[in-house]
Amino acid sequence: MNSGPQTPFSEYLHATKYRAQHESFHEAMNRIAGALTDDRDHFLILREILEAMRFMPGGRIQAAVGAPKKVTPYNCFVSGTIEDSFLEGHGSIMARATEAAATMRMGGGIGYDFSTLRPRGAPIKKLGSSSSGPVAFMDIYNAVCKCIASSGHRRGAQMGVLRVDHPDIEEFIHVKQEEGVLEGFNLSIGITDEFMRAVRDDLPFQLRWGGEVFSEVDARALWDKIMRSTWDWAEPGVLFIDRINEMNNLYYCELIAATNPCGEQPLPPYGACLLGSFNLVQYLFMTDSGWMFNWEQFRKDIPMAVRALDRVIEVATYPLFEQEQEAKNKRRMGLGVTALANAGETLGLPYGSPEFLLFEERVLTTLRDESYHASALLAAELGSFPLYDKEKYLAGKFIKTLPKWLRDVIAKNGIRNSHLGSIAPTGTISLAADNVSSGIESVFSRSAIRTVQTFEGSGEHLIEDYAYATHGTIPVEAHEVTAEQHLLVLAKAQSLVDSAVSKTCNVPSDMPWTEFKSLYFRAWEMGCKGITTFQDGGKRKGILKKADTEGMACRLDPITGRKECE
């Protein structure tokens, strides 16, 4: 059995990101397995899974668990509610900025809902002045982020969310179109069902805050501004915030207004989530008739991962007491997959094809059912999460999509973890696993030059796609996948995941404008919780360069798809 990364660059990356100085991969997996198991049998099984890289815990878990340095194993958090006060009170703008600093300093990314702040120009009666508005206050958080280089060469990551009905929404849409502004943020708009219906039916739409209507706008004109910005700049992203709350397993005890920096984890105030991904190429095996997928091994591994991530909640270091309370009251985790494209295409299923979608469905259905089953069995042993309410939980809209046998097990035993699934981008852990395809994304390129950031600066490295280099698999590259295929892969995943999905839908620059906008409407109608698009010809830079087969160095921006050769 191969243990750990096999290519020099991936070994270097894993060592510098996730391991102590002079710690081998075997020693790191020994450390992680030792900290996340409570008996020898589980230890031996989990260590073998980790060493084979069939399951890869989130990068923060790999760096933090069992290590002497004081960092958090949680990849992502959401801020406490930001109160409409600059200095006064526990939840003031500055108090939340201080909490954000503590969170990022220990390795956690963080998301915020800025919709709670009064709009620009609104009066502040106590001071006899007027508000600067949420976009201006975001500069404070951006400055904090820029000053913090968290451990493991990981700089602070942030998500800023503003509701579409906030009076400052137009300023928010355009703010990052100027170079150097809010570079520490990803931005997303919380899109309501009310707004989508107003756009569909060509109705006026009210912008309001604090119970007061500030103005009434043309919904379709506002929608066009959002679409133009995401077409040109790939931001802001779109979160269907009502869908997020409607499908939330904990609809009965929390309200979600923001997500983690990459959008795959909608979280309540002080929410946190543990991430981990199954590396699907490690379940492939060769037979006389070709490559096959080891479904039996996949099913056996899932309960081991559930038990291990549940254990993280107990051994974790938390930046804030409120985050610890939130985590232990709900025991969220986010199990996902990576290398879906590599695995499917090695099996002969081109990315986005009907056959590929059936493979995706089987993978994610297996992961959903086995993880929920494992959590229910764990509840019988250790108890359900403290805020579990049997009647209300089983009435949840996502829970009702589970098969009856599984709902019966939950009804009998309870459930240990409120949420079990999440499709994360898995960028660095996938690269450290010999550059397998990230998450459920298509392969970017057979070979590429990647820019990697460290404390010492940036460096470029030539890397090859795992399946292409190892198995000779010819991938469908990202720019060859149609927008329709991207959307179908996204929607299929979202229907089987209780949290959310990080997925990029690449679109060509000659795509008709009405067709581009309809992509977002279709995502809403198909039950997606959000959507991100990148179009060929946009204005953003990326971290990958496509390596030309004839040796010419070509830059292919993974965000825009634009190719520039030297």
Backbone angles phi, psi at 155, to 5 degrees: -85, 160
Active-site choice (76, 145, 262, 273): 262
Omega prior to 268 cis, within 30 of 0: no
Contact 182, 175 (CB under 8 A): yes
Backbone angles phi, psi at 555, to 5 degrees: -95, 120
User: Which of 251, 245, 75 has the alpha carbon at shortest distance from 163?
Assistant: 245
Helices (H), 445-546: 466-471, 483-495, 513-525
Structure token digits, residue 72: 């958090």
485 neighbors 351 (Cβ within 8 angstroms): yes
Q: Which of these, 94, 104, 107, 108, lies nearest to 139 by C-alpha position?
A: 94
Asked whether 366 and 358 are in contact (CB, 8 A), the reply is no
Packing angle, helices 404-413 and 354-382, rounded to 10: 20
Catalytic residue among 186, 260, 342, 506: 260
Task: Determine the distance from the C-alpha atom of residue 507 to the mean position of all C-alpha atoms in its chain, rounded to a whole number.
Answer: 21
What is the Cα Rg of the chain in Å? Answer: 23
Residue 442 near residue 474 (C-beta atoms within 8 A) = no
- Taking the alpha carbons at both ends of the chain, their separation in whole angstroms is 42
Inter-residue contact 452 to 462 (CB < 8 Å)? no
> From the CB of residue 33, how many other CB atoms can be counted at a distance below 10 Å?
23
Can you say whether the dihedral through the CA atoms of 339, 341, 342, 347 is positive or negative?
positive
User: What is the pairing mode between strands 333-338 and 272-279?
Assistant: parallel
Token pair 């852990």 is at which residue?
429
How many CA atoms lie less than 13 Å away from 364 in the CB half-sphere?
31
Q: Is residue 189 helix, strand or coil?
A: strand
Within 8 A by CB and 6+ apart from 214, the residues are 119, 167, 207, 208
User: Is 264 a residue of the active site?
Assistant: yes
Whats the size of the chain, residue-wise?
A: 566
- Alpha helices for 477-530 (secondary structure H): 483-495, 513-525
Pairing of strands 530-535, 237-240: antiparallel
Q: Identify the active-site residue in 264, 370, 441, 477.
A: 264
Type of residue found at 183:
E
Q: Which residues are catalytic?
A: 260, 262, 264
